[in-house]
Amino acid sequence: MSDVRQHSSAGSGGVANRAVGGEQLRLRTIIDQVADGLVITGADGLIRFVNAAAESLFGRTADDLLGEDFGFPVVAGESTEIEVLRPRGAQVVAELRAVGIDWEGQNALLISLRDITERRLAEQQAHELAREQAARAAAEAAESRYRRLAEDMTKLAEENAVLYDRAEEASHAKSEFLAVVSHELRTPLNAIIGYTDLIESGISGPVSDTQRAQLKRVKASSAHLLEVVDDILTFSRLETGREEVNAEPVDYAVLIRDAVKLVQPLAEQKQLPVHVETPPEPCTGETDARRLRQILLNLLSNAVKFTDEGGVWLDCHEDGDEMVFRVRDSGIGIPHEYLDRIWDPFSQVEESHTRKIGGTGLGLSVVRRLARLMGGDATVESQLGHGSTFTVRLPRRVISSRVVRANSAYMRAR
Ligand code: ADP
């Protein structure tokens, strides 16, 4: 370039020189009109010529560039893209093409540089826009999926609530029905037991030994039926939250002896001794006598039911503010893995075996729930083949449900 410029600016020679100089000036003017940057490098890679477009592309003057190493790898016949860093930090992207030429009798490269910065920028922006649109579309799709899912879940929850309400209603209705039926059964059963007692006592006329033995069987069966009805009634009242504790003054020793009397006919049938150990009389306290009798009767009749040899023991003692009742037997025992489950309603250890013996599977669940309702608890220890011990701990002074309710209303009001 410097050569060209020198030639063009030193055009003051002879006519021929002037003609050559004029030619070069025209050529120079044309080359400077070209929009692409043009650079000629020698075989040594040093810049020999730059046009105006190349000057503006590099952001440097021809004087600055001439004689410098071009600095980019260039192969004749190939085109590449280069990134040019201008002096003030701006970056330009140019498409580079090179062809081999002869420059003043030497091998050289004519390099054309087209500024494609804006094209690249536009491409980049278009690419980013497409990416943004794709991301937005994906987000919108995810949102609508989520919205549909949320709608489905709400619908499902509503349907569930309706089903739950219906199930609750059905369960409530079932418990109500059981409560009514059990109540209706209880009244005539008590009459049967009462009149049997009356006949047995001989008040209504003499009773033979055979009749007395048969009356005992009537009483045992009626007592068993009453126990089953009582369990169903209590279970349904517990289920509907209507079971109440009605505490009254009692003598525990008397209460225990009464409970044993109820199970005696069944034990006699199996020729099983029932041993009772009561605390010294009077052993007073306050409890729901009917509920405690039901607890003891359930445990005692189970003990008799599941024992063929040995015996059944019932003892009661005080422990601080509590009364502890223990029902022990030398019966079949309970497998370890069943010790928790037997407290669930309708749960029996071995169906076929239990069916042979009979029972509803409600007794122990009623025992534990009643014990807890009265402020205590029921537990079991057992060894398979050796027998079981059921323990019930209750406050010596049980508090009535009505008092508990009044107290909590008072606490709420404070
Ligand atoms: P049911 O006696 O009517 O079957 P329970 O709730 O009273 O129902 O008892 C549940 C189960 O626990 C019984 O079926 C029996 O398998 C077991 N069980 C209860 N008491 C005893 C006991 N004293 N000895 C052995 N197994 C017992």
Mutation to probe ligand 1, out of 348, 380, 384, 389 (largest number of atoms < 8 A from CB): 348
Give 319 Cα–ligand 1 centroid separation in angstroms.
Answer: 27
Ligand 1 touching residue 389 (CB < 6 A) = no
Give 225 Cα–ligand 1 centroid separation in angstroms.
Answer: 16
Atom of ligand 1 nearest to the CA of 353: 16
Ligand 1 touching residue 349 (CB < 6 A) = yes
Ligand 1 touching residue 4 (CB < 6 A) = no
Please tell me the pTM assigned to this model: 0.59
pLDDT of residue 11: 35
Per residue in 94-115, pLDDT (tens digit) is 999 999 999 888 999 999 999 9
Per residue in 50-90, pLDDT (tens digit) is 999 999 999 999 999 999 999 998 888 888 999 999 888 88
SS (H, E, C) the chain: CHHHHHHHHCCCCCHHHHHHHHHHHHHHHHHHHCCCEEEEEECCCEEEEECHHHHHHHCCCHHHHCCCECCCCCCCCCEEEEEEECCCCCEEEEEEEEEEEEECCEEEEEEEEEECHHHHHHHHHHHHHHHHHHHHHHHHHHHHHHHHHHHHHHHHHHHHHHHHHHHHHHHHHHHHHHHHHHHHHHHHHHHHHHHHHHHHHCCCCCCCHHHHHHHHHHHHHHHHHHHHHHHHHHHHHHHCCCCCCCCEEEEHHHHHHHHHHHHHHHHHHCCCCEEEECCCCCCEEEECHHHHHHHHHHHHHHHHHCCCCCCEEEEEEEECCEEEEEEEECCCCCCHHHCCHHHCCCCCCCHHHHHHHCCCCCHHHHHHHHHHHCCCEEEEEEECCCEEEEEEEEECECCCHHHHHHHHHHHHHC
Mutation to probe ligand 1, out of 307, 364, 368 (largest number of atoms < 8 A from CB): 364
For the cut 50, the answer to whether the pLDDT of residue 1 exceeds it is no
Share of the chain above pLDDT 90, in %: 57
Per residue in 125-175, pLDDT (tens digit) is 999 999 999 999 999 999 999 999 999 999 999 999 999 989 888 878 877
Give 379 Cα–ligand 1 centroid separation in angstroms.
Answer: 13
For the cut 60, the answer to whether the pLDDT of residue 333 exceeds it is yes
pLDDT of residue 317: 93
pLDDT of residue 19: 56
